[in-house]
Structure 1
Amino acid sequence: MTIPMGILTLTPEENDGYFKEIGKRAVEFDIALYLFSPLNIKPENSLIFGYQFDADNAEWIKTEFSIPHFLYDRCFYGADRGSKEAKTIVSWLKARKDITFLGYGLPNKWILYEGLKNHPLISPYLPMTTKASSAEKVINELSKYEEIILKPIDGAHGYAVYSIRSDGKAIVVKTTKKGKIVEKKFENIEQISPWLESLLIKHIFLIQPRLDNRNKNNEPFDLRVFIQKDPEGNWKEVGRGVRNGKKYGLLTNISAGASVQTYHSWLPTVPSFDHHYLSNELQSLLSILPIELEKSFHPLFELGIDIIIARDQSLWILDMNSKPGRKIISLNHPNELESLYKAPLAYCQFLANQQSIDSAAIKLN
């Protein structure tokens, strides 16, 4: 029986190469593949005006269809009204018992931290995190560290990330705008307080100490590890890469201009590091983290895990993304692209088989 699977995106009309590559392989898994925006679901009858992939012509065809039983969520939300409406609709879809998502996503950074901070094997890798409830709170945290980072509770791609550090009585704020590093100096606490209060009105921010992840060229860097579930539903690492940001900058996002190199090509650049120790630490963390995330929150399909390796060789989880990009794989591991395109289809097939087995067991009982 053909399995109906839909890809959720806010921009189905765009020519997304990744979605098309998935479509080309859907017939191998006996999957009918659809593409649509949650905003295109008609509330009166739950029909959708979207696209179905035509395997014969390798293209998307406009059509109307019912909500597919399996959904792959690739929606990225902004602050606009449409994004807010779409987010509400996706939450409604996730609550329905007749629909199965490949992955149900992760909550915001604060809920993630609160959920993991008491886990004995994960908490040592979590930077101390607190909410920026007021300007006074931010200044109080700054007094504890040489430099702190402010990041939005639900931010992505390095948006609205600020570094704040003391310089004598003065306070220096640094951020990145349109790919350029912007710096502003305040003469004292009294001068920065109004600026902080106005900033905290715009977003809910978290405060973390600035971790020393600068290389010998004073470029910030981190390790991105991309993991997915295989056709048997087990987690596996697809690839990893080291992202190097701009000199004296804050961000390591590729979208912010960071360069990428393979993990193995990076290792010789840090000869003083104990590579055996690093390998064991990473392996231990990566074997625990996705399983514990699913226990604490919701079922997942894929993860992009950003890890800071500080100068003292300590490891820190910088971020966890349940809708990761694929540039690390396309740039560093092009031989994995084929399995990357098939992975959502194979996992969908696995879920469908599991549900068939469960249904058969219920009937026997």
Structure 2
Amino acid sequence: MASNQNKTLGIMALVKRDEPRFPEKGYYQKLTEIGRKHGIRVFVFSPRQADFARRQVVGFEYHKGQWRRKLFPFPAVVYDRCFISASYRHYKPFIERLQKDPQVIFMGLGLSGKWEVHQILLQSPQLAPYLPETLPFSMQSFFSLLKRDGTTILKPAVGTHGAGVIRIDTSPTSYSIIGRDHRNQPFTRRMKTLAAVKRFVRRFTLGRTFLVQSYLSLHTPAGDPYDVRVLVQKNEAGNWVTTGKAVRIGNSNITSNLHGGGKAIPLAAFLNRYFSAEKRTAIEQQIDEIVRILPPFLEEHHGRLTELGIDIGIDTKGNVWIIEVNSRPGRSVFRLTNDRDARIRSVTLPVKYAQYLMKIV
């Protein structure tokens, strides 16, 4: 149990230098304000600024309209918002050392990668049928799927926001590659030979781990890609609850991620527009089954989790697929759909779950 002197929630982020330069400032500001109402002090810190000898950390606290740099004792609870990026390797040793500290509670352990999550979910008889065929990338696995299906997907094993996801299509006279580069910029290429495709794929995947995935027709009749984002979180009793569901629609590219310039609408409105009543019921039931089974199953095999963004695909025939699971989900989708209740829950529940952990651990 956290003492009254250390009812603190430390948001662990990739803070650059000794300045309050970090993403999601608006979200962290709201967490600070909610924490204050619950008697919890919230601050943002970099794991690289942890002094393990003195058990102190340099952090930033939002107060009276500005972020102030201060020295804090190690937080009672850590909320991990360290997004995987090229610089993550510099932070990883410090994060792992903090995770081993018996006096520090991590709200959740970040998922390590798409392949590891896929392997865990395959073990569930209920979830396995919802998983698209996925293989670790090699030239052999890539060309095998491309030859069999005529189209295949390449995606980074670790990454967010749709960056680095591409689709390769075969036609009688050429090959086309469409997707987003590693800076998340959309591009299209056309190539006449398989050798040219091979050279491009080798350069594109160099130095990073990729997955090969069977192509699914996850688009509207107009050709716009979309998926369903479901945010599930732990509540004040430590139980999984569904915060909200929304459909993200992309701009005629391969991914529907909002960072690529997409839009969002409520799930019910989307299903009403594109599916029959009978099909809508079946889709909603399958999504509910995934959302009920997946969080506790994944947590059982991975370790403690606090929230998950579950991305679900619905193909043109109405089949439901698990596309991706993210342990550091965003919540801007609920602002775009004007779902005020989901938006408030999404920023309130992390503080309530932190308070729950302070009481029971």
Kindly state the Cα deviation for residue 195 of structure 1 after the two structures are TM-superposed.
Answer: 2.4
Task: Give the alignment's TM-score, normalised by structure 2.
Answer: 0.91
Instruction: Point out the more displaced range, 220-229 or 171-180.
Output: 171-180
Query: Does the alignment pair 1:103 with 2:108?
Result: yes
Structure 2 matches for 1:58-137, cutoff 5 A? 59-80=66-87, 83-133=88-138, 135-137=139-141
Work out whether 1:349 is the aligned partner of 2:358.
Answer: no
Specify whether residues 353 and 236 from structure 1 end up closer, same or farther in structure 2 by C-alpha distance, changes over 3 A only: same
Distance 1:44 1:100 in 2: 18
| Contiguous gaps of at least 5 residues in structure 1 | 356-365
1:52 pairs with 2:70: no
Pair 1:90–1:216, CA change in 2 (3 A): same
Larger CA deviation: 345-354 vs 60-69: 60-69
Cross-structure match for 2:271: 267
Amino acid at match of 2:33: K
Aligned CA distance change for structure 1 residues 345 and 58 (closer, same or farther; 3 Å): farther
Deviation at 1:326, TM superposition (A): 0.9
Which structure 2 residues correspond to residues 6-25 of structure 1 after superposition, within 5 A? 6-11=10-15, 13-14=20-21, 16-25=25-34
Matched, 1:191 2:196: yes
For residues 246 and 338 of structure 1, the distance between their equivalents in structure 2, rounded to whole angstroms, comes to 28
Residue deviations 1:209-262, cap 9 Å, x none? 110011111111111111111111111111111111112x10100010111111
User: Residue 236 of structure 2 contacts residue 356 of structure 2 at CA under 8 Å; is this kept in 1?
Assistant: yes
Secondary structure of 1:215's counterpart equals coil
Instruction: Determine the C-alpha separation between the residues in 1 that align with 2:65 and 2:176.
Output: 54
Between the aligned partners of 2:244 and 2:106, the Cα distance in structure 1 is 24
* Residue 44 (structure 1) shift: 4.6
Distance 2:42 2:197 in 1: 53
Give the alignment partner of residue 167 of structure 2, picking from 155, 163, 170: 163
| 2:48 paired with 1:39 | yes
Aligned to 1:201: 206
8 Å CA contact 1:110–1:153 kept in 2: the answer is yes
Query: RMSD value over aligned CA atoms?
Result: 1.9
Q: Distance in 2 between matches of 1:37 and 1:31?
A: 19
Answering whether residue 233 of structure 2 is matched by residue 228 of structure 1, we say yes
C-alpha distance in 1 between matches for 2:152 and 2:255: 14
Asked if 1:340 is matched to 2:346, the reply is: yes
Alpha-carbon separation, structure 2, partners of 1:136 and 1:191: 16
Asked if the contact 2:141–2:212 (Cα under 8 Å) also holds between the matched residues in 1, the reply is: no
Instruction: Tell me which moved more, 301-310 or 260-269.
Output: 260-269
Q: Rate the CA distance shift 1:27–1:191 in 2: closer, same or farther, 3 A.
A: closer
Are positions 1:145 and 2:154 aligned together?
no
Query: Structure 1-normalised TM-score?
Result: 0.90
Q: How many angstroms apart in 1 are the aligned matches of 2:206 and 2:27?
A: 37
CA drift of 1:340 comes to 2.8
Unaligned runs of 5+ in 2: none
Maintained 8 Å contact 1:47/1:65: yes
Percent identity, aligned pairs only, is 26
Contact 1:179 1:257 in 2 (8 A): no
Once the two structures are TM-superposed, the CA of residue 59 in structure 1 deviates from its matched residue by 4.7
Q: Note the C-alpha offset of 1:53.
A: 4.6
Deviation at 1:31, TM superposition (A): 1.2
| CA drift at 1:179 | 6.5
- Give the whole-Å Cα distance in 1 for the aligned partners of 2:322 and 2:86: 26
Following the alignment from structure 1 to structure 2, what is the Cα–Cα distance between the partners of residues 146 and 14?
45
* Number of residue pairs the alignment of both structures matches: 349
Kept in 1: contact 2:263–2:336 (CA 8 A): no
User: Once superposed, which parts of structure 1, at least 4 consecutive aligned residues long, lie more than 6 Å away?
Assistant: none
